[in-house]
């Protein structure tokens, strides 16, 4: 194991096993939580897919993709400790040749038109403004949408024509706005998983392009009604 991994693992306070994946958790990195598990349950990974794990944290989502058919995974996190931890956890799970980990803010380190089959993101979605490496993992600004909106704005540039987006959001940060925005950009967006807590509901959203918009209009309308029922239940 690389020396830098040995050093960071010594500072990690917890070791977890999730879906038979061994994960070390560092005090300055967001640990796998209920929203992580919801995203994992929602994922559908085509064989040999190119997979973008945005906001990688410990790397669990990208490692899961690599172990379940993805041919290449790029994991991105704004937290440099998270990026290193992702690299080390990938090494521990034998997928370091598939998983690349970089320290960057959203798509800033990627050239235009570098595309992926699947893009997954568990964004900071709580309507709070907190600073710090760890706190940035959940701090979404006053509306909870600061990072979400920036991510959605550029998503078209990095997704193949028939690619899919999987993302998590909270009922506290206006998920209907996300669904409507994606629809306006030509995607069919639907809530595929949810988990309710006493103060919020977390949702897993799947989106993919409607290639022939007119022919999919009735399906699009049914999906919108289903999303509205889900959010109002």
Average pLDDT, the chain: 90
Query: Number of C-alpha atoms within 13 angstroms, CB side, residue 37?
Result: 8
Whether 102 shows a pLDDT value over 90: the answer reads yes
pLDDT tens-digit readout, 114-157: 999 999 999 999 988 888 878 889 888 899 899 999 999 999 89
Instruction: Give the pLDDT of residue 226.
Output: 61
Distance in Å from the first CA to the final CA of the chain: 49
d(CA 132, CA 27): 12
User: Residue 140, SS3?
Assistant: coil
What is the 8-class DSSP label of residue 200?
-
- Residue 136 and residue 122 in contact, taking contact as beta carbons nearer than 8 Å: no
pTM equals 0.89
Domain positions in the chain: 3-232
- For the chain, what's the residue count? 233
CATH number of 3-232: 3.40.50.150
- Residue 39 and residue 33 in contact, taking contact as beta carbons nearer than 8 Å: no
pLDDT tens-digit readout, 165-209: 999 999 999 999 999 999 999 999 999 999 999 888 999 999 998
The overall longest dimension of the chain from CA atoms, in Å, is 56
Nearest by Cα to 84 from 69, 70, 101, 68: 101
Whether 213 shows a pLDDT value over 50: the answer reads no
Contacts for 154 with CB less than 8 Å, ≥ 6 apart:
106, 107
d(CA 155, CA 182): 10
User: Residue 170, SS3?
Assistant: strand
């Amino acid at each position: 194991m690389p020396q830098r991994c040995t050093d960071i693992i010594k500072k990690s306070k917890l070791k977890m096993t999730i879906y038979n994946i061994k994960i070390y958790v560092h005090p300055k990195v967001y640990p796998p939580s209920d929203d992580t598990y919801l995203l994992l349950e929602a994922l559908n990974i085509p064989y040999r897919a190119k997979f973008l794990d945005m906001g990688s944290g410990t790397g669990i989502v990208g490692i899961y993709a690599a172990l379940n058919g993805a041919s290449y995974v790029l994991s991105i996190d704004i937290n440099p400790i998270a990026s290193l931890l992702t690299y080390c956890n990938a090494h521990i799970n034998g997928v370091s040749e598939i998983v690349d980990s970089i320290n960057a803010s959203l798509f800033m380190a990627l050239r235009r038109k570098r595309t992926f089959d699947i893009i997954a993101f568990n964004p900071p979605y709580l309507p709070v403004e907190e600073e710090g490496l760890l706190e940035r993992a959940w701090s979404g600004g006053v509306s909870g949408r600061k990072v979400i909106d920036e991510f959605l704005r550029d998503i078209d540039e990095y997704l193949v024509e028939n690619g899919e987006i999987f993302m998590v959001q909270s009922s506290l940060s206006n998920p209907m706005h996300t669904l409507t925005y994606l629809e306006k950009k030509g995607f069919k967006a639907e809530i595929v998983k949810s988990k309710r807590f006493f103060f919020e509901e977390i949702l897993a959203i799947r989106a993919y392009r409607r290639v022939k918009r007119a022919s999919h209009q009735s399906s699009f309308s049914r999906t919108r009604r289903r999303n509205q029922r889900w959010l109002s239940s």
